[in-house]
Amino acid sequence: QVQLVESGGGLVQAGGSLRLSCAASGSMVSMYAMGWYRQAPGKQRELVAIMTSGGSTNYADSVKGRFTISRDNAKNTVYLQMNSLKPEDTAVYYCKRERSGVLKTPDYWGQGTQVTVSS
């Protein structure tokens, strides 16, 4: 069974940093595109960053230069390093295994972790 468990969220001051982790079980993160998404209160869930199985990355314009997605295949874990945090980064952050057209598998979501950035 595929399971994605996020951790590392918390309360930080503006300008601070956090590193989120997404520990996967029942799935190899190296075989799939993995993404980080976030959802603020009253807003739609939005893409933050994606890493393909080949290691290519893409970021939302709002986080470029501040956030970095990475993975450790040995630990089967995906990370989101968040620097220079702003109050508008406050949201629940979700890890996602993207659907695969090759392996014909659906999306899988973690349960999310809260990030709160104070002024």
Tell me the sheet residues that pair with 12: 117
pLDDT per residue rounded down to tens, the chain (119 residues): 999 999 999 999 999 999 999 999 998 989 999 999 999 999 999 999 999 999 999 999 999 999 999 999 999 999 999 999 999 999 999 999 999 998 899 999 999 999 999 99
CB of 109 closer than 8 Å to CB of 5: no
**Both tokens assigned to 117:** 């950035």
Query: pLDDT value at position 114?
Result: 98
